[in-house]
Amino acid sequence: MNLYFWIPMGILGLLLVAAFIKRYKMFKSMSNATNSEKLIILTDATFQKTISKGVTLVDFWAPWCTPCKIQGPIVSEVAEAIGDKASICKLDVDQNKKIASKLKIRSIPTIIIFKDGEPVKQFIGVKTKAVLLKSVLALTN
């Protein structure tokens, strides 16, 4: 093969390696994202009491789930923006299988908004801060 074939292949290989490194660094930084102080971490034991009064948004997630790593910081931002109008929570489905099974959580991330203990709205997949804020604020008014 001639030189005109190998030079573009080498450049393409370098671009692919650079893209891989960039994506790896992005995912690595997501796992180090900090949670808001207003974010409530739920367990099987605390779930029912927490959702029983008022409006509560619960993010069902797992640490190995890449879309969950994208959704996590968004949920933390929602917790900061909402303040005391609603409870914003996270529940690790790997550690709390009883509640995840009871609610038939099959895909993650799943977000369910509860009002006085009853599920009112459900989202599957990554949702934006604007979508979550609009949905929660509509129920708090």
**Residue 103: how many other CB atoms lie within 10 Å:** 17
Q: Which of 30, 40, 62, 65 is catalytic?
A: 65
| Dihedral over alpha carbons 63, 69, 73, 75 (to 10 degrees) | -70
HSE-up (13 A, CA, CB side) for residue 111: 25
Q: Is residue 65 among the annotated active site residues?
A: yes
| Dihedral over alpha carbons 73, 78, 79, 83 (to 10 degrees) | 150
**Among all chains, which residue has been given the structure tokens 């102080």?**
37
Q: Which of 39, 68, 105, 112 is catalytic?
A: 68
Show which residues are catalytic.
65, 68
